[in-house]
């Protein structure tokens, strides 16, 4: 793993070598300077063609035998020979350029190059989208990187103009929508050079787009005191935002005070520095945007690697221990030992936290550990024999049926899922609270699920590609996923959805819920899913949160949950996103349903839990 | 690639450490001795359990915290604690053992170990198959390795007995058939120790089975003159047969004159030696049992990597050059220059072979190169300008419509697919022969497809797993695949199927065919597919063959083609395998159909080319 992570920290860097007469020589030089690949024109101007001439030359470009196919495929990304006007309104310009472009795309295919760079020069690029998607459908193996300014050039203009057509993101958004968000059509974002303001919102939105490359004009580099090239901090911050998106960097433009080699080694250095600063630790590296099915711990025994991952999050258990300490201190002094029942003890981390809290608070405890998994019990028995002694008693039973010999002052559990209640913590704790004393304490005391609208074209595509033998697309797009959101843009802050409190002393306990939430989009964007988080009050002021704005510092447990929509929905600035969520149940299972009400009325996803549910038994 | 291949050459070797009291210490020692993993008992005898006792112990084995989950998952393969009699006819023995076994399998799941070793001790293991397949269906992540003697123990007996029940392969065959050949149920074959004869047929049949491991008893090692352990040549030959099947080796038994470390380093040395001797070169390494779709060169332009792979096969072009030399010598002396038309010239290897032959035979030639792919033409133009000069003239057209200015003395082509005619060489050459002089020569002169029955459980499973979004299982099992057959057993020698000759001077050219072939099984086996090969007469005695018994020495082009059956068919010794094959066509396409007639009547696969066809345009 660690080797792989070291590899992930490395920045893949290209040099834009323009249109060299001798490609092999320029490529060799760039590789010797440390670059991983080059960007060049597919067709050198020497091979300019006029397909209307009767004797159109049959030599259309460099010979493929110049490089091995492996080198073409690994080292050469190509720009087209010119800006083809295939969306021109003048038919013969359009048809002529279409013929030329088609030939070039065929040649790119023939050479097996990994990606071509194209530019959009107007709002509507329907015919270009049509032609490119035809090639991809017919089996072209290249990616298409749309070279796009990172900052809306319209902003340069002092005249404020709110028309969409000035927003380059809209050009891109239309273009890729024509092809139904094809997974091999991505972005090569150009860093802004002319000092126009960087808009944080805009950058965040790019974060939810399939960015494949970032183009860094050489004029952005300045010299440090050692006369080495560096990027100003503002540009470093931009790169930081894209660091975990697996982008490649393209150095483009004439060299000034520095050599190309120096630019490349600086990028290597910058990558290491930024990765080391990055909050995403070793823990989650490699999980970026990886779709996981939520656990079903009630019906399936957790396995060793899962327990191990849980236990690695020291922050979570520090918070639990703090909560237990505070609760121990709040129990009347005359009670000794204090009875603590840990339900769902797993391999014992909460038992350990309880014993630690007992020592710190000097309050004597008697711990009952309830665990249904016989293989975790195997571990607990060993810890009782060798670490904990008689202070801990074990019950190998489901907490909903277990009968400990005495009632608890404190009931401790860690049954929360990524959405709080989605691993049936409410149902389990409602069952377990019968052995809590009347004024006993539950840790956690409450938890609240949170929801936020999300744009992630990458994850929208990932869901469709995960199609397995026994699942239809409908099932895949009505199933929630646990996912470490990286290539995603959270459209606005999360709002609270469902609350559960423990112990629940109501006469009639109802864990079904229904609620409608409204969000306002801050800018034009594409809604592809809702992201779910939770906040939990462990005890009094000890809070545990995965909601980005209140996230428990350095805690690594729980990736967000994502509820997909069946297709991407276009949303305009200030438009309302309204969604209704249900938590529903019957004797066998619990499930969620969700329905978009605005910007347009959708249909209800996962009706009757047909595609996804959590089993009770 | 080369790094990956170096890695592939390495032999993964385990030590059977039995039932150590201290697993961690034994594991550490084995790793220090160079072993990659160990085999041990899942449950140490200290943890023997009686589930009928009221106080059945809750500690069932070592604690999972002894190793990290990653180490459990990478380093520990487990034997079960005992031979469970879950197929006993006595109900309470059966039910008790089922309970114990179920617990052990759950524990194996919990620890996340990669594989468990089981033994079959009788012919019928239905209940064991039921229980194991239930666990796998429910999500168990381990592989099951069935520990099986490589040589039928029944052979030890001097009394010849032909009953199946004495053949251990039948035990295995029944067992895995119950679970429909589950891809995670494989074999751990034990090398024979008692000098019983190794039967070549038997070993070859194992080659078509999913062998995961080979168990080498330490008593097989002898000392060489340096007192180092070596395996006798006969055992090396066995290992050689399994070398490319990605098996792991388990050293098992007490050490004699050598240390365990010496056994391990010998295995590493042996691996390197055998790989270096192996006929499978760098060329095909990494392609083992990989399913590829046959090319459609008539409708899709080949790309650079494909041309490059073609051209790497020097043997093929040496044979072509020999054929061209002989043909040149056979042309009347008064004809000069001899007109050679190369149809489907690609990037020019046959043009080069023709020019070489011209120099060697001192017969002047004029070469016309016909190639429809405009991107290959780009390359040919460059070679004409820089290498070949005026001797070569280029036509960028389909050979079926092209009109060269003069007729050819020799027509050279390389249009053969893995099954000979399956890339429409007949149709293309029938079209091109109109510009061959009346007594002109076609190279090749003829080709014949060959067919053989095949057993490959691995490939049967691979086809089912390749299920993609837009293909049904029916389509997948009626499609031929080009595949480098490794984990496969060719049940008997191939027989010739369809013959095509060029030029074809018939009044009415018919390229449709139908023929029935009969094969006789040499031993009990499982028929899963038919393998296809071809032999081609390039010119007179210059033959090019992919049929194993006549294969052109060191030629690497063309992997076999495989026509799958919809499900595995059991075949008995001396039973007849009868199959009917069709080559059919209409205006748009050519396709094959095939139908098993014996050992039972199947239905026709790929009726009307519904699942697979070769497009003519």
pLDDT digits (tens, 9 = 90+) for B198-208: 678 889 999 99
Query: Using an 8 Å Cβ cutoff, are A427 and A583 in contact?
Result: no
Which of A378, A465, A477 has the most B C-beta neighbours within 10 Å, making it the best mutation to test the interface with B? A378
Considering A51-60, A137-146, B411-420, the range whose residues carry the highest mean pLDDT is B411-420
Joined together, the tokens standing for residue B225 give 């003159």
Confidence band, pLDDT 50/70/90 cuts, at residue B160: very low
Query: Using an 8 Å Cβ cutoff, are B21 and B283 in contact?
Result: no
Which of A1, A61, A74, A110 has the most B C-beta neighbours within 10 Å, making it the best mutation to test the interface with B? A110
Query: Using an 8 Å Cβ cutoff, are A220 and A505 in contact?
Result: no
Return the number of other C-beta atoms located less than 10 Å from residue B180's C-beta. 14
Contact B374/A68, CB-based, under 8 Å?
no
pLDDT digits (tens, 9 = 90+) for B40-86: 999 888 887 776 676 777 888 899 999 999 999 999 999 998 899 99
Predicted confidence at residue A9, as pLDDT, reads 62
Q: From CA B35, how far away is CA B12, in angstroms rounded? A: 8
- Which residue intervals of chain B bear CATH 3.20.20.150? 3-277
Q: From CA A39, how far away is CA A41, in angstroms rounded? A: 7
In SS3 terms, B25-53 reads as HHHHHHHHCCCCEEEEECCCHHHCCCCCC
Burial status of residue A568 (CB atoms within 10 A of its CB: 0-12, 13-18, 19 or more): buried
Predicted confidence at residue B229, as pLDDT, reads 96
Per CATH, the architecture of B3-277 is what? Alpha-Beta Barrel (3.20)
Q: Measured in Å, how far apart are chain A's first and last C-alpha atoms?
A: 36
Whether the per-residue pLDDT at A130 is higher than 80: the answer is: yes
Whether the per-residue pLDDT at B104 is higher than 90: the answer is: yes
Q: Which residues of B touch A304 (CB under 8 A)?
A: 64, 69, 72, 110-112
Average pLDDT for B130-151: 91
Partner residue facing A382 (CB), from B59, B347, B382? B59
Predicted confidence at residue B343, as pLDDT, reads 95
Joined together, the tokens standing for residue A24 give 């092999």
Partner residue facing B304 (CB), from A61, A103, A112? A112
Instruction: Specify the CATH number of the domain B304-414.
Output: 3.40.50.150
Contact B382/A139, CB-based, under 8 Å?
no
Distance of CA B217 to the CA centre of its chain: 28
Place of tokens 């079960």: B80
* CA atoms within a 13 Å half-sphere pointing along the CA-CB vector of B596: 24
> From start to end of A344-445, where are the E strands?
365-370, 392-395, 408-413, 436-443
pLDDT digits (tens, 9 = 90+) for B509-542: 999 999 999 999 999 999 999 999 999 999 999 9
CA distance, residue B304 to nearest chain A CA (Å): 5
Q: Of A81-85, A143-147, B576-580, where does mean pLDDT reach its minimum?
A: A81-85
Q: Of A37-46, A451-460, A511-520, where does mean pLDDT reach its minimum?
A: A37-46
Average pLDDT for A207-219: 96
Place of tokens 């359009």: A94
Joined together, the tokens standing for residue B609 give 């080319």
Predicted confidence at residue B602, as pLDDT, reads 85
Partner residue facing A58 (CB), from B109, B112, B377? B377
Confidence band, pLDDT 50/70/90 cuts, at residue A467: low
Average pLDDT for A327-333: 96
Predicted confidence at residue B60, as pLDDT, reads 84
B423 carries an active-site annotation:
yes
- Which residue intervals of chain A bear CATH 2.70.160.11? 446-615
Radius of gyration in angstroms for the set of CA atoms belonging to chain A, rounded to a whole number: 29
Q: Which residues of B603-612 are buried (b: 16+ CB within 10 A; e: fewer)?
A: eebbeebebb
Q: Which residues of B touch A139 (CB under 8 A)?
A: 300
Closest residue on chain A to B385 (Cα) = A59
pLDDT digits (tens, 9 = 90+) for B545-554: 999 999 999 8
Q: Which residues of A touch B475 (CB under 8 A)?
A: none
Q: From CA A465, how far away is CA A476, in angstroms rounded? A: 10
* CA atoms within a 13 Å half-sphere pointing along the CA-CB vector of A104: 29
Q: Of A229-233, B218-222, B309-313, where does mean pLDDT reach its minimum?
A: B309-313
Query: Using an 8 Å Cβ cutoff, are A229 and A263 in contact?
Result: yes
Helix (H, G, I), strand (E, B) or coil at A111: helix
Beta strands at A561-571 and A525-539: parallel, antiparallel or unpaired: antiparallel
Q: Helix %, strand %, coil % for chain B, to 5? A: 35, 25, 40
Contact A110/B301, CB-based, under 8 Å?
yes
Closest residue on chain A to B381 (Cα) = A59
Average pLDDT for A84-113: 92
pLDDT digits (tens, 9 = 90+) for A160-185: 445 555 688 999 999 998 888 999 99
Return the number of other C-beta atoms located less than 10 Å from residue A597's C-beta. 15
Contact B68/A106, CB-based, under 8 Å?
no
CATH of A446-615, one of 1.10.3720.10, 2.70.160.11, 2.40.50.1020, 3.30.70.2500: 2.70.160.11
Burial status of residue A222 (CB atoms within 10 A of its CB: 0-12, 13-18, 19 or more): middle
* CA atoms within a 13 Å half-sphere pointing along the CA-CB vector of B593: 16
Partner residue facing A382 (CB), from B63, B376, B381? B63
Predicted confidence at residue A223, as pLDDT, reads 95
Sequence-ordered list of residues with C-beta below 8 angstroms from that of A94, at least 6 positions apart, any chain: A85, A86, A87, A88, A127
Sequence-ordered list of residues with C-beta below 8 angstroms from that of B293, at least 6 positions apart, any chain: B479, B481, B482
Mean of the per-residue pLDDT values for chain B?
90
Average pLDDT for B161-169: 66
Q: Of A4 and A353, which is predicted with more confidence?
A: A353
Long-range contacts of B594-602 (CB under 8 A, 24+ apart): B594/B530, B594/B563, B596/B527, B596/B565, B596/B569, B597/B516, B598/B518, B599/B569, B599/B570, B599/B571, B599/B572, B599/B575, B600/B569, B602/B565, B602/B566, B602/B569
B414 carries an active-site annotation:
yes
Give the residue numbers of A marked as catalytic.
414, 423
- Which residue intervals of chain A bear CATH 3.40.50.150? 304-414
Sequence-ordered list of residues with C-beta below 8 angstroms from that of B291, at least 6 positions apart, any chain: B459, B462, B463, B466, B481, B482, B483
CA B408 → CA B191, B255, B339, B350, distances in Å? 61, 73, 5, 15
Q: Which residues of A touch B112 (CB under 8 A)?
A: 303-305
Confidence band, pLDDT 50/70/90 cuts, at residue B282: low
Cis? peptide before A200, omega within 30° of 0? no
Predicted confidence at residue A4, as pLDDT, reads 41
Which of A65, A309, A312, A373 has the most B C-beta neighbours within 10 Å, making it the best mutation to test the interface with B? A65
Mean of the per-residue pLDDT values for chain A?
90
Partner residue facing A301 (CB), from B70, B110, B307? B110
Predicted confidence at residue A196, as pLDDT, reads 62
CA A241 → CA A209, A216, A234, A272, A547, distances in Å? 12, 15, 11, 15, 19
Predicted confidence at residue B4, as pLDDT, reads 41
Sequence-ordered list of residues with C-beta below 8 angstroms from that of B460, at least 6 positions apart, any chain: B181, B528, B529, B564, B568
Beta strands at A561-571 and A481-482: parallel, antiparallel or unpaired: antiparallel
Which of B43, B65, B73 has the most A C-beta neighbours within 10 Å, making it the best mutation to test the interface with A? B65
**What proportion of chain A, given as a percentage, has pLDDT over 70?**
94
Across the A/B interface, how many CB contacts are shorter than 8 Å?
119
**What proportion of chain B, given as a percentage, has pLDDT over 90?**
71
Question: For residue A297, what is the enclosing H or E element?
Answer: none
Q: Which residues of B touch A300 (CB under 8 A)?
A: 139
Whether the per-residue pLDDT at B284 is higher than 90: the answer is: no
Helix (H, G, I), strand (E, B) or coil at A273: helix
Whether the per-residue pLDDT at A580 is higher than 90: the answer is: yes
Predicted confidence at residue B524, as pLDDT, reads 94
Contact B375/A469, CB-based, under 8 Å?
no
CA distance, residue B464 to nearest chain A CA (Å): 9
Question: For residue A503, what is the enclosing H or E element?
Answer: none
CA distance, residue B124 to nearest chain A CA (Å): 31
The interaxial angle of helices B91-111 and B126-137, nearest 10 deg, is 30
pLDDT digits (tens, 9 = 90+) for A516-555: 999 999 999 999 999 999 999 999 999 999 999 999 998 9
Whether the per-residue pLDDT at A157 is higher than 90: the answer is: no
């Amino acid at each position: 793993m660690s080797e792989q992570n070291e590899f992930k920290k490395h920045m893949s860097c290209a040099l834009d070598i323009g249109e060299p007469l001798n490609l092999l020589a320029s490529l060799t030089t760039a590789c010797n300077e440390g670059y991983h690949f080059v960007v060049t024109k597919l067709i050198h101007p020497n091979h300019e063609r006029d397909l209307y001439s009767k004797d159109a030359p049959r030599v259309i470009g460099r010979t493929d035998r110049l490089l091995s196919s492996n080198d073409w495929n690994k080292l050469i990304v190509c720009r087209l020979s010119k800006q083809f006007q295939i969306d021109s309104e003048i038919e013969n310009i359009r048809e002529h350029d279409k013929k030329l472009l088609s030939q070039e795309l065929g040649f790119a295919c023939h050479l097996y190059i990994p990606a071509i760079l194209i530019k959009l020069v107007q709002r509507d690029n329907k015919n270009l989208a049509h032609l490119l998607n035809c090639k991809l459908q017919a089996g072209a193996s290249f990616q298409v990187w749309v070279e796009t300014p990172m900052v809306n050039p319209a902003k340069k203009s002092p005249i404020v103009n709110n028309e969409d057509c000035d927003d380059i993101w809209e050009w891109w958004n239309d273009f890729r929508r024509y092809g139904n968000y094809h997974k091999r059509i991505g972005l090569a974002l150009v860093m802004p050079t002319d000092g126009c303001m960087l808009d944080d919102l805009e950058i965040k939105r790019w974060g939810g787009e399939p960015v494949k490359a970032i183009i860094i004009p050489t004029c952005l580099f300045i010299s440090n005191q050692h006369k080495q090239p560096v990027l100003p901090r503002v540009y470093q911050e931009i790169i930081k935002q894209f660091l975990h998106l697996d982008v490649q960097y393209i150095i483009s433009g004439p060299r000034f005070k520095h050599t190309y080699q120096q630019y490349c080694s600086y990028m290597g250095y910058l990558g290491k520095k930024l990765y080391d600063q990055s909050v995403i630790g070793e823990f989650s590296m490699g999980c970026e945007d990886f779709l996981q099915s939520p656990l079903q711990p009630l019906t399936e025994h957790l396995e060793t690697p899962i327990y191990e991952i849980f236990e690695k999050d020291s922050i979570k258990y520090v918070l639990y221990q703090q909560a237990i300490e505070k609760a121990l201190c709040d129990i009347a002094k005359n009670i000794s030992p204090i009875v603590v029942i840990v339900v769902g003890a797993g391999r014992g981390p909460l038992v350990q936290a309880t014993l630690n809290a007992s020592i710190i608070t000097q309050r004597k405890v008697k711990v009952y550990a309830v665990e249904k998994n016989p293989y975790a019990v195997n571990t607990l028995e060993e810890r009782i024999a060798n670490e904990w002694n008689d202070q801990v008693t074990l019950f190998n039973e489901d907490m909903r049926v277990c009968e400990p010999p005495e009632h608890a002052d404190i009931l401790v559990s860690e049954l929360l899922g990524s959405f709080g209640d989605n691993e049936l913590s409410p149902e389990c704790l409602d069952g377990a609270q019968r052995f809590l004393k009347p004024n006993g304490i539950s840790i956690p005391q409450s938890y609240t699920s949170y929801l936020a609208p999300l744009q992630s074209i990458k994850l929208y595509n990932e869901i469709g590609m995960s199609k397995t033998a026994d699942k239809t697309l409908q099932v895949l797009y009505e199933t929630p996923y646990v996912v470490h959101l990286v290539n995603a843009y959270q459209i606005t802050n999360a709002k609270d959805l469902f609350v559960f409190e423990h112990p629940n002393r109501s006469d009639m306990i109802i864990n079904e819920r229904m609620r409608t939430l409204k969000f306002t989009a801050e800018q034009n964007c594409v809604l592809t899913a809702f992201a779910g988080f939770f906040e939990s009050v462990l005890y009094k002021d000890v809070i545990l949160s995965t909601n980005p704005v209140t996230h428990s510092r350095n805690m690594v447990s729980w990736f967000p949950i994502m509820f997909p929509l069946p297709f991407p929905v276009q949303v305009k600035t200030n438009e309302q996103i309204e969604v209704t969520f249900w938590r529903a149940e019957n004797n066998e299972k619990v499930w969620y349903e969700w329905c978009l009400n605005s910007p347009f009325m959708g249909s209800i996803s996962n009706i009757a839990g047909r595609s996804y549910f959590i089993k009770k038994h």
